[in-house]
Amino acid sequence: MVTKLPFASWLAEQGWTYEAFGALVNRSRQTISRWALGQRRPAEEDMRIVFLATDGRVTPDDWYPLAQWRAQLGVQRAAQHGPTGTGAAPSVSTETGSGPQGEGAAAAAPACGAA
């Protein structure tokens, strides 16, 4: 199943075809299609170009599964600061997210505010 990314939604809302937007940003229709369908993640420079071309409505964050990572962070924080009160650092999952290309990143263990 392909999740519709904000970039794809923005293109549809604005009436852009992959070919027309590709011409605007000097990329192929196929490249724009892959970005919109989540099959590829744009390179950093391409994310900057898309950000500027969309007047900031499509951001680099739109290509990363931040909601999933934030949920994972919440679980870690709960384990670290939960009812046991041990303050022990939780183990960090190295499972990848379900973002484009199956990429993800290991979550870093959050710093505990209480000593």
Q: Enter the CATH code of domain 6-63.
A: 1.10.260.40
Cα of 96 vs its chain's centroid, Å: 12
How many CA atoms, within 13 angstroms, populate the side-chain half-sphere of residue 73?
13
Structure tokens given for 26: 């000097």
The model's confidence at residue 67, banded by pLDDT at 50, 70 and 90, is confident
Per-residue exposure over 57-79, b if at least 16 CB sit within 10 Å of its own CB, e if not: ebeeebbbbeeebeebeeebeee
Q: Rounded to 10 degrees, what is the CA torsion of 51, 53, 55, 57?
A: -50
Domain positions in the chain are 6-63, 66-102
pLDDT digits (tens, 9 = 90+) for 13-66: 999 999 999 999 999 999 999 999 999 999 999 999 999 999 999 999 898 888
pTM: 0.63
